[in-house]
Structure 1
Amino acid sequence: MILPGFHATAEEAGPDAAGVFALDTILVNGTSAAHCLPRGAARAEADTRPECLGRGVGRADLPGATLDASQFDRLPTGARANALIKRLPTITTGGGPGEDKDARIMGLDKEYTRTLVDGYQLPDGGEKREFNLDRFPVAMIDQVEVVRTKTADMETDGIAGKVILHSKDIPETLTRTLSVRGGQTSDGIGNFGISGHIGGMFTADFGAQAVINIARDGASKTKVKTSPSGAVERTLEEKPQPAREFLGDVMWRSEIGTFRFKPVYLDQTEEKTKDLQKLTADGAFNGSETGAEDKTKQTRGATLSWGEQIGGFDIEARAGYMRGDEDKTAATTTTTAAGAGTGKLETEDKADVNRTLEVDAKTPIHLGAVAGELKFGLALRDKSRDKTKVSNGAVATGKESYALDESYRAAYVMGKFDLGGTVTLKPGLRFEAVTLEGTSIGSGLRAEGKARDLLPSLAASWQINDRWTLSGGLGRSVNRPKFDLLAPFETTSGSTLTVGNPDLDPQPANTYDLDLTFKGDHAELVFGLWHRNIKGVIEEGTATGEIRDGKTVVSAQNVGDGTTSGVSLTQRISLAHLESPVLRGFTLGANENWASSKLHVAVTGATRKFKEQPNFWGDVFVEWTDPSERLILMAAYNYTGKLPAVGDSGTDWRESEDTLDLKVSYDFDNGTELYLLGENVLEGARVTHAANGDVTRETGPSLVTLGVTRRF
């Protein structure tokens, strides 16, 4: 994927350091470029940048991709993080048309990708440990990274990789920004947003900032399911999403070290209405279902970081408290073909609390003539989740109502060695231990589980010459189970007793990644490879061999095995060196991704692809800038090929999809930018074919937005 205007700077480089690479108006997929002052670096007299503290571990030179904040307003994307992440190589997004909420690295299901904000896992309501990216506004983001290879100082959970959102950094000087947008979907639903930012480094030792965002997003969705007999179910959903968000950031330097405090508040409500009409093959009324659902998601908390140089060690400690609440109320009325009606009222409440403490220390070391750095640390996290579902006054049983307490402990050691000034090696070893206590709220059943993992890793990069770089990594990673599979529930259906399994093991995987990057004066090319060998894939409905009260006991078990491999190609070309004033304004680019996988399903004995993974997907991007560099025209086209296996059973399949986004922006001399954005211009459809012959077609509207940003 081409991303205009991006620049990459070595992790330790300052604003004027040598080694900064510029490709006219574009450079993407370079190394992570933190714009803060690296820990331990000497501060020049005119350098007022904030210290790099409280950001968590970044990508650096690992295989993956990075998108910098300086590019956000040069992309035809919306106001939420999901609109940014889908522009990066190897990424697909989940959800129906206009609902691409979650990121999927390597095209794998969302359960294999983890999303972090400044190194922390923000609580969210999903069972698959995912974080919905539409909950985080672009106004709060400084940088987006996709990391495929992990080093020992990163938590290993997430076999495919990690999406890292770095929150907006404190500006060097006092900065104020106000953005206002308004628009309407093609089906008439209004969207708007207003965000404001103020902050800066007031001295070299003190800085602060605040970001406030108030918005109303959302649209409608039409779903039509047709059975082989010709019967039709037609559903119309409208889902406005008002939101309020706040990010604070205070940094101060004292005699006992540097401190950084970041409070955050995210509040999003989904106000969904649903109208389902059923028709027979000859068009006669065959029943209906109408309903209204209000879902409110709140995340609130804060992180406090401290860093100091003590006796030759650079120490950083980070503590965080985050609470997430998801409350849902759904009222549904069902009417039969004969006109009889029944009602159902459901409420679902989820509460998640994450308490985190991490301590890292690093110190220079020398092994003979080899200079390096030794880094080691500890990580502690306690997570609790309580979920209660009530249907018509009765508490739901099974995995719908449970309480979990998950205790995570980790320790690691990692080296970083520079060989000859061109090769960097990062060997490491990480130990992770998880203890789980689970309770079924409906029945009161209690159970415990434990997991212990020793996880080696090795990352390396080779600066072959000024234009070619080779980076890669291999190691051991895990994927922790879905929350609802860990609840100690029991449900009976016929001759089968289904039970939860709090003692499920994480799915382990051997991971291999490689990126070869060429950076020329007017072009950049990236060739990427990945492979995952996964053991102990979790499968639900697996017979345990136990008979209880005459019933066959089944549960989720670590019984499957699979592999997935892929290739990613990225190309970017700038025509700024041409003589023609029209052609030299163009920047062109694309990324193409191919994936293959095999999953042996122990329950059925079948072999299929991992669900939700396409064989091919990619992006094409075109940008044109007029000679004055004020007017910019942008277009981005995304294509996702056929998905041969979707749904939990993996027996359904989905047709290929495409989307087109367009943007026009004009930058005035007075710090004002005006833009017109069109999203989902093609109003593409998602068509799913079920194993029973049903065909479901989902369509979403386009959205046109007019916005203005004022910097002063």
Structure 2
Amino acid sequence: MKKNVLAASLSRALAGALLVAALPAVAQSTVATPDGGDGRRGEATQLEAIEVKGEIVYRDRTADTAPVLSYDLEYFQQFEPLTVGDMLKRVPSVAFLSDVLEYDGVRLRGLDPGYTQILINGKRVPGAGFDRSFFVDRIPAELVERIEIIRSASADRSGDAIAGSLNIVLRDGYSLDGGYLRAGALSYSDDEIEPLVGAVWGGEALGGNLLLGANAQGRRNPKQKYSWRYDAPGGGLDNTERQTDVRSGEDYSFNADYSVPVGQGQFGLRAFFVRTDRMQEEFSTEYSAGVETDQNIETLNANDLDIRTDNWAVDMDYSLPMAGGETRIRLGQAGIDDEQFEFEDEYEYLRDANPFPEDDRFTGDRTYTDIRDREISFELRHERDVAGKELRFGVEVVDKERETSILADRNRITIPNAPAPRPAVPGEFGPYLPVDGGLGTIEERRIEPFVRLNGEAGAFEWETGLRYQHTDLDVTDLTVDPADSKSSKDYGILLPSLHLRWNLDDDQRLIASFARTLRRPNFDQVTPALLLAELGDNDLLGNPDLEPERAWGLDLGWERRLGRRGVVGVNLFYRDISDLIEIANTGVEGDEGEGTWVLQPRNTGDGQVWGAEFDLSTPLTAFGMENTGVFFNYSWLDSEIEDSFGTRKFNDQSDYVFNVGFIQDLVELDASFGLTYRKQGEAWGRIIGEEVRTSYNGDLEAFVEKRFGEAWTLRLTGSNLLDASKDEVFDKFNTLEDQVLRDHDEYEVETEKGGRLYQLVLRYSF
């Protein structure tokens, strides 16, 4: 109680003081080393000390021939993002279909997270999701040097990027000379306070350049949900549900980077570790006929999920002059350990013949999930000049092993309509047993040779390349019949790419890109398990013979420099995707009997994705307002795909996403302030058994900052200031025929609200 009163007093005092003066970022000057956009280090550059500067940072214009947008940490830092997810919500074409104030699975160009490749320092990292996606809210923003949006694939990067790639480049030993300390607190809508502390140092040490960073922060997201359930659209109200959902925990992270000359070459060693401890606590009450009294309670449900996730990576490389060029050898290992324990206790009051609270029933579910994923990678590449052109070739080898263990148990007790003593609740649980498809191993071996050639002719620059990705996949599922428990699949795909850049003058250029990419099947789609009543009343059977989805992509862009620091750009994109993985009917009757079927994912049909992206980042110097920076991006997104019921967009693709904001630097006051507003359009998705429409209100953020001398910065930020909601409408069906005929099993409307979040952060640079 005391900490809440103290925090509220501090917030009011700070707001009063700073609103008189106001903010820009701790402009920590960094010098990025040249790395070709793949996260690898280049030659040593002069280190710059960290100091507090009143300078607005804008989007960078990269030298890549391929279309790449680059955003330094300082572009985001005024708004004190906690995670990479918080950063990405301000860049073009990034949408999220998460809960309110959650930014985990990136939907680049609005597509499912499995279509977006997440790289850290230019290399893939394993994620816990079955769709191979990596949750970007696992990486604290303080580890990051910059974020690159790679709109079209190049031959020297993995081609698993139909929507594009996001490269998270972590700070390295060349980023800074000095360090900073960071401390603060976060205040949530339920009056709880969470701390945050961090420290980073970089400079010359041990004969080379060393960077060390550590960060710890509390996280919390209290939400309220409300649902109305009907028997059909426009039908009678069956029940309502009130739910509280509180997610709280801590993030701990550490990163290190060391580079030192060895012989004629340069040796580098990098490592990072991130631990997420999180508890999700949900409690809900359902009422019959919308009458919210004790006598009308239908169910009480408590659902808690305890999560501990460790992400880590260790990477070393050695670069040296060789054979008239430069050769680089890299060896790395990355992993994720995701451990979750979930329980759900539900009390049902079955009062058909008896008044409350007789004829009760208790159902208890316990689920333990343990996912262990390891990737060992080796890369050999060589770069050299050939007839005035840059040639880069090499091979990357990846060995992946993923072990999944999902164990569950259910305990159900019907409490008889009898006087006490009643059976003990929750009663005795039996042994944990694997769920169907929940115990097994996936082994994946990739060999990916590549070649890339860059050149220029007058005002034209070009890049062309070819990558061959060969994959051997072995699946072991210990929950099925031993005769079907092991399966193997191998495939190889050629991925050509071509990028052209026409420098119209010193300030503007045109870019055209053409590339082939792919998306691999989800892990749970290639296991041969049969899941009963997984899609409505229909069963779902896995398919180990699935091929990856393939796409041809085209990007056309124009970019212009505005003055000394501003940039404006327009990009048009198109993807033609074949071998889409969609659910098909096997024709076998389902476990629930007539009208239900065994369904299976198969490579059926094609789809197209297209859109337009606009971004602007510039000071208003032309209007005599050099200390005012404006930011705006808008993406219009569309697609077409055909499923069992007809034509639709790709599932859950938003119609649009845009961000707009400004930062005002008050030079004489050593202060700054700013606002940013974000909105994404409605999304709609359809699978067998369920259709859902999702919409979000706009999200407003603000900050105010005061700088003290050359070393101190105090910043207050506010997020979700409009108390935005997420609204969903569900159409639910039992069978395929019911869905075609629109014969609803249930029609549900749900709204979810979070609350405002305030941060107070003090930084000291040295």
Q: What is the TM-score normalised by the length of structure 2?
A: 0.82
Aligned to 1:558: 603
Select 1:294's aligned residue among 306, 318, 325. 306
Aligned to 2:472: 435
Matched residue SS, 2:142: helix
Aligned to 2:462: 425
Q: Is the 8 A contact 2:406 2:438 kept in 1?
A: yes
Asked whether 1:612 is paired with 2:632, we answer no
Aligned to 2:372: 351
Shift of 1:171: 3.9
Select 1:241's aligned residue among 245, 249, 254. 249
Asked whether 1:596 is paired with 2:600, we answer no
Alignment of 1:362-441 (within 5 A): 362-366=383-387, 371-392=388-409, 393-420=431-458, 422-441=459-478
**Matched AA of 1:566:** G
Asked whether 1:232 is paired with 2:234, we answer no
Matched residue SS, 2:248: strand
Q: Is the 8 A contact 2:275 2:310 kept in 1?
A: yes
Q: Cα RMSD (Å) of the superposition?
A: 2.9
Q: Is the 8 A contact 1:59 1:147 kept in 2?
A: no
Q: Quote the Cα distance in structure 2 between the aligned partners of 1:86 and 1:239.
A: 20
Asked whether 1:81 is paired with 2:84, we answer yes
CA-to-aligned-CA distance 1:603-647 (integer Å, 9 cap, x gap): x15110011211122011111111337211111100111223366
Aligned to 2:486: 446
Q: Is the 8 A contact 2:655 2:683 kept in 1?
A: yes
Cα distance, 1:471–1:397 mapped onto 2, change above 3 Å: same
Q: Quote the Cα distance in structure 2 between the aligned partners of 1:59 and 1:234.
A: 53
Aligned to 1:476: 516
CA-to-aligned-CA distance 1:564-584 (integer Å, 9 cap, x gap): 1100112334224545xxx55
Aligned to 2:673: 633
Q: Quote the Cα distance in structure 2 between the aligned partners of 1:180 and 1:327.
A: 29
Q: Quote the Cα distance in structure 2 between the aligned partners of 1:524 and 1:442.
A: 55
Q: Quote the Cα distance in structure 2 between the aligned partners of 1:92 and 1:455.
A: 27
Aligned to 2:357: none
Q: Is the 8 A contact 1:174 1:202 kept in 2?
A: no
Cα distance, 1:273–1:462 mapped onto 2, change above 3 Å: same
Q: Quote the Cα distance in structure 1 between the aligned partners of 2:150 and 2:515.
A: 14
CA-to-aligned-CA distance 1:249-296 (integer Å, 9 cap, x gap): 111111152111112211101111110111112331111111322110
Q: Is the 8 A contact 2:29 2:176 kept in 1?
A: no
Shift of 1:662: 0.6
Aligned to 1:317: 329
Matched residue SS, 1:690: strand
Q: Quote the Cα distance in structure 2 between the aligned partners of 1:236 and 1:218.
A: 13
Cα distance, 1:312–1:120 mapped onto 2, change above 3 Å: same
**Matched AA of 1:404:** I
Asked whether 1:698 is paired with 2:752, we answer yes
Q: Is the 8 A contact 1:361 1:375 kept in 2?
A: yes
The runs of 5 or more residues in structure 1 that have no matched partner are 14-30, 51-57
Q: Is the 8 A contact 1:513 1:531 kept in 2?
A: yes
Select 2:224's aligned residue among 215, 222, 225. 222
Alignment of 1:58-97 (within 5 A): 60-74=64-78, 76-97=79-100
Q: Is the 8 A contact 1:665 1:674 kept in 2?
A: yes
Matched residue SS, 1:217: strand
Segment of structure 1 superposing worse, 342-351 or 425-434? 342-351
Aligned to 1:272: 280
Shift of 1:547: 9.1
Q: Is the 8 A contact 2:284 2:301 kept in 1?
A: yes
Select 1:643's aligned residue among 667, 683, 687. 683
CA-to-aligned-CA distance 1:460-500 (integer Å, 9 cap, x gap): 21211011111221111101111111123234569976432
Q: Quote the Cα distance in structure 2 between the aligned partners of 1:681 and 1:179.
A: 24
Aligned to 1:262: 270
Aligned to 2:762: 708
Aligned to 1:185: 188
Matched residue SS, 2:580: strand
Cα distance, 1:340–1:493 mapped onto 2, change above 3 Å: closer
Q: Quote the Cα distance in structure 1 between the aligned partners of 2:176 and 2:217.
A: 27
CA-to-aligned-CA distance 1:649-688 (integer Å, 9 cap, x gap): 7732123431011111112213111100101111101111
Aligned to 2:413: none
Q: Is the 8 A contact 2:557 2:569 kept in 1?
A: yes
Q: Is the 8 A contact 1:388 1:395 kept in 2?
A: no
Q: Is the 8 A contact 1:145 1:163 kept in 2?
A: yes
Select 2:620's aligned residue among 551, 559, 575. 575
Cα distance, 1:59–1:600 mapped onto 2, change above 3 Å: farther
Greater Rg, structure 1 or structure 2? 2
Cα distance, 1:343–1:649 mapped onto 2, change above 3 Å: closer
Cα distance, 1:318–1:647 mapped onto 2, change above 3 Å: farther
Shift of 1:207: 1.1
Q: Is the 8 A contact 1:78 1:679 kept in 2?
A: no
Aligned to 1:22: none
Cα distance, 1:437–1:462 mapped onto 2, change above 3 Å: same
Q: Quote the Cα distance in structure 1 between the aligned partners of 2:618 and 2:176.
A: 34
Q: Quote the Cα distance in structure 2 between the aligned partners of 1:328 and 1:700.
A: 24
Aligned to 1:330: 342
Cα distance, 1:161–1:6 mapped onto 2, change above 3 Å: farther
Q: Is the 8 A contact 1:529 1:568 kept in 2?
A: yes
Shift of 1:8: 12
Aligned to 1:586: 628
Shift of 1:594: 0.6
The runs of 5 or more residues in structure 2 that have no matched partner are 1-23, 50-61, 231-235, 351-359, 410-430, 732-745
**Matched AA of 1:634:** G
Matched residue SS, 2:605: strand
Asked whether 1:524 is paired with 2:585, we answer no
Q: Is the 8 A contact 1:10 1:33 kept in 2?
A: no
Q: Quote the Cα distance in structure 2 between the aligned partners of 1:147 and 1:558.
A: 27
Q: Is the 8 A contact 1:6 1:67 kept in 2?
A: no
Q: Is the 8 A contact 2:307 2:338 kept in 1?
A: yes
Cα distance, 1:614–1:412 mapped onto 2, change above 3 Å: same
Q: Quote the Cα distance in structure 1 between the aligned partners of 2:397 and 2:654.
A: 36
Q: Is the 8 A contact 1:65 1:88 kept in 2?
A: no
Q: Quote the Cα distance in structure 1 between the aligned partners of 2:540 and 2:100.
A: 35
Q: Quote the Cα distance in structure 2 between the aligned partners of 1:300 and 1:37.
A: 20
Q: Is the 8 A contact 1:94 1:110 kept in 2?
A: no
Cα distance, 1:468–1:500 mapped onto 2, change above 3 Å: same
Matched residue SS, 2:161: coil
Q: What is the TM-score normalised by the length of structure 1?
A: 0.88
Q: Quote the Cα distance in structure 2 between the aligned partners of 1:650 and 1:61.
A: 44
**Matched AA of 1:335:** Y
Aligned to 1:658: 698
Q: How many residues align?
A: 667
Matched residue SS, 1:82: helix
Shift of 1:123: 2.2
**Matched AA of 1:135:** R
Aligned to 1:360: 381
**Matched AA of 1:245:** S
CA-to-aligned-CA distance 1:538-563 (integer Å, 9 cap, x gap): 113x1346899999754211103110
Cα distance, 1:192–1:646 mapped onto 2, change above 3 Å: farther
CA-to-aligned-CA distance 1:444-469 (integer Å, 9 cap, x gap): 41111112101111012121101111
**Matched AA of 2:640:** K
Alignment of 1:79-158 (within 5 A): 79-158=82-161
Q: Is the 8 A contact 2:32 2:174 kept in 1?
A: no
Matched residue SS, 1:655: strand
